[in-house]
A = this chain, B = another copy of it.
């Protein structure tokens, strides 16, 4: 999918945010810069700016996710937008209405933005092709394809700790095959120019042809962690355990779980990331998750700032407008 064609308007500004793939380095840096301005809002006495007052944002969750929905809901409220939470699987489509009719109905209610979560890869892209010109679509996770706001909050967290992307070695560890997060992270890391991206996983959890994305594949955790600046752990979906793809939880932890001993193989100041919720003792040991090397909770905070940035940008607003709007 050629992300930039649909994601940008004719002036090159962000119109939809569907994927980190195909966006320029300057645009990604722009998102991070805007998020930097919003990061302070969450720490203010009054955690609200009136940037999207009077806008209506619909959380269209075709697949339930309380945590992700909550972060978008908070981002919208802190921008002073009105937010509708629509659990689509249990509403319109159960009445036999087509997806297109559901979208057009919400547009007719003067919604300005759809935040879309869907179990099918490509769903957010498809929806972006269907909506009217004034609507922006943000992908909150589609199948195995992309989860771009997660990737950008990860980039934001890395930049806060490591500044220069071009000197970094980054390892992504776990179920790459089923992970939309990993895919979006790899594209973002590439665009931001990291020195080296590694993926570490058993053969069964690595998608075919992944080397074409420029990553280095490791099956051995110790070899893969050697000398990296950033360790990005993935959540292990427990339902994968039931198939033939994976050994037992214990065996997985033994081979790919992140322990203090293993972390010592990375650089002394390497940071540890995880999109959450974490499975303690499955993909990550508590001694690592709770250590000062872990930036997992910072990722959560940054997630609100990054989502505020993307929501504001796709609506044509920037933090510089705050004074003007108030």
- Residues from chain B with a CB closer than 8 A to the CB of A301 are 108-110
Q: Are A304 and B74 in contact (CB under 8 A)?
A: no
Q: How far is the CA of A55 from the CA of B41 in the complex (A)?
A: 11
Number of interface residues of A (CB under 8 A): 51
State whether the Cβ of A208 lies closer than 8 Å to any Cβ in chain B. Answer: no
Closest to A297 in B: B108
Quick one: closest B residue to A282, CB to CB?
B96
Q: How many copies does the complex hold?
A: 3
Contact B70 A84 (CB under 8 A): yes
Using a CB-CB cutoff of 8 Å, which residues 135-168 of chain A contact chain B? none
Which residues of chain B are near A8, meaning CB under 8 Å? none
Q: Does A71 contact B (CB under 8 A)?
A: yes
User: Measured between C-beta atoms, what is the minimum distance from A83 to chain B in Å?
Assistant: 9
Given the known interface contacts A47-B110, A300-B109, the answer about A95 and B56 at a Cβ–Cβ threshold of 8 Å is no
Tell yes or no: A10 within 8 A of B by CB: no
Distance in angstroms between the alpha carbons of A101 and B300 in the assembled complex: 11
- Residue A43 lies at the interface, judged by CB distance under 8 Å to chain B: yes
Whether A244 sits at the interface, judged by CB under 8 Å, is no
Our pick among B54, B77, B108, B238 for the contact of A96 (Cβ within 8 Å) is: B238
CB pair B46 A54 closer than 8 Å: yes
The docked-state distance in angstroms from the alpha carbon of A20 to that of B104 is 28
CA distance A74 to B43 in the complex (A): 25
Residue contact B43 to A53, C-beta cutoff 8 Å: no
Tell me the smallest distance from the CB of A233 to a CB of chain B, in Å: 14
**CB of A175 closer than 8 Å to a CB of B:** no
Given contacts A70-B86, A108-B297, A108-B301, contact A276 B53 (CB under 8 A): no
User: Which of B90, B105, B276 is the one whose CB lies under 8 Å from A297?
Assistant: B105
How far does the alpha carbon of A105 sit from the alpha carbon of B299 in the complex, in Å?
Answer: 10
Nearest CB of chain B from residue A287's CB, rounded to whole Å = 15
Instruction: List B contacts of A56 (CB < 8 A).
Output: 47, 74, 77
**6 cross-chain pairs, A with B, having the tightest CB-CB distances, nearest first:** A46-B54, A66-B91, A108-B300, A97-B277, A42-B110, A108-B297
